[in-house]
């Protein structure tokens, strides 16, 4: 199994107050699934995504990714997993402001030691896939919101990760640009990628094959779509 969560809990501590964000989540996701995670604000969607993306570790339970127990890994091991297995797409794009598209997309390859020539080829390739071949040397502030998000998607793709995680990727975009971004995810899914995305727009979620609804840190419903 690609992703397997057993009794995953996450509790934030603010001073002496304990805020339970996730309460015993059990979940499996297979390769090439396209999953939408929905739920009201504060229900734990981002927390779940961060744990799935190895940006954060759970307070309890076991998370296996590709049959490896992630819960027991060190920070540096998690960094390598993020580099190799995970492609992250954020609501606020999170591009390096002073770097051009090409360099932003190359970034994950820098940290796994890919030689410069190969890096450039792979980054160009990824930018072509998201339709930005003609914007390689533009900096983020020279691009529209939709274009920025496409650079971010290219960056998530470039290393051929096992999972692409997108936390409200259309949240900062107008609905038409949002649709364009969703089309890219759809294509990525068709060519075999596993995609998990968070949204609270039903029409965005309808692109997926499976919708998981969270409420107060619990899975309220988990349904397959047609």
Ligand X SMILES: Nc1ncnc2c1ncn2[C@@H]1O[C@H](COP(=O)(O)OP(=O)(O)O)[C@@H](O)[C@H]1O
Question: By the criterion CB under 8 A, which residues form the site for other proteins?
Answer: 50, 53, 55-56, 75-76, 79-80, 82-84, 88, 90, 94-96, 98, 107-108, 110-116, 155
Q: To the nearest whole angstrom, how small is the minimum distance from the Cβ of residue 31 to other proteins?
A: 21
Q: To the nearest whole angstrom, how small is the minimum distance from the Cβ of residue 95 to other proteins?
A: 8
**What's the Rg (C-alpha) of the chain?**
17
Q: 119: which residues sit within 8 A by CB, 6+ positions away?
A: 106, 109, 110
Write the interaction track for Mg ion spanning residues 72-101; mark x where CB under 5 A is met and - where it is not. ------------------------------
Using the contact rule CB under 6 A, the part of the chain among 35-43, 71-79, 95-103, 117-125 near ligand X is 35-43
Q: Which does 42 bind (CB under 5 to 8 A by kind): other proteins, Mg ion, ligand X, none?
A: ligand X
Residue 14 touches ligand X, criterion: CB under 6 A: yes
Contact 145, 114 (CB under 8 A): no
Q: DSSP of 68-100, one letter per residue?
A: EE-TT--HHHHHHHHHHHEEEE-TT----TTS-
Residues numbered 43 to 102 that lie near ligand X (CB under 6 A) are: 43-47
Q: Which does 96 bind (CB under 5 to 8 A by kind): Mg ion, other proteins, ligand X, none?
A: other proteins
Q: To the nearest whole angstrom, how small is the minimum distance from the Cβ of residue 5 to ligand X?
A: 15
Q: 103: which residues sit within 8 A by CB, 6+ positions away?
A: 96
Helices (H), 111-199: 116-129, 145-157, 175-190
Using the contact rule CB under 5 A, the part of the chain among 44-52, 140-148, 150-158, 212-220 near Mg ion is 44-52
Q: Are strands 163-167 and 194-198 parallel, antiparallel or unpaired?
A: parallel
Laid out side by side, the sheet with 68-69 consists of 17-29, 3-14, 60-65, 68-69
Q: How far is CA 82 from CA 11, 52, 198, 225, in A?
A: 22, 10, 18, 29
Residue 12 touches ligand X, criterion: CB under 6 A: yes
Binding site for Mg ion (CB under 5 A): 46
User: What is the binding site for ligand X (CB under 6 A)?
Assistant: 12, 14, 19, 21, 39, 41-47
């Amino acid at each position: 199994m690609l992703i397997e969560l057993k009794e995953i809990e996450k509790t934030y501590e603010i001073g002496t107050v304990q805020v339970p964000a996730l309460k015993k989540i059990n979940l499996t996701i297979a390769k090439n699934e396209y999953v939408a995670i929905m739920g009201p604000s504060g229900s734990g969607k981002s927390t779940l995504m961060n744990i799935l993306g190895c940006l954060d570790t759970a307070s309890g339970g076991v998370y296996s990714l590709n049959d490896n127990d992630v819960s027991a890994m060190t920070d540096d091991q998690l960094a390598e997993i993020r580099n190799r297995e995970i492609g992250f797409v954020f609501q606020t794009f999170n591009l390096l402001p002073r770097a051009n598209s090409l360099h932003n997309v190359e970034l994950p390859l820098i940290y796994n030691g890919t030689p410069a020539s190969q890096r450039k080829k792979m980054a160009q390739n990824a930018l072509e896939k998201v339709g930005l071949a003609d914007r390689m040397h533009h900096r983020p502030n020279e691009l529209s919101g939709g274009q920025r998000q496409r650079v971010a998607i290219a960056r998530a793709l470039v290393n051929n990760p096992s999972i692409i995680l997108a936390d409200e990727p259309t949240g900062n975009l107008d609905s038409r640009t949002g649709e364009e971004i969703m089309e890219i995810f759809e294509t990525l899914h068709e060519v075999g990628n596993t995609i998990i995305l968070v949204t609270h727009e039903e029409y965005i979620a309808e692109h997926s094959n499976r919708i998981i609804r969270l409420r107060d840190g619990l899975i309220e419903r988990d349904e397959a779509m047609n």
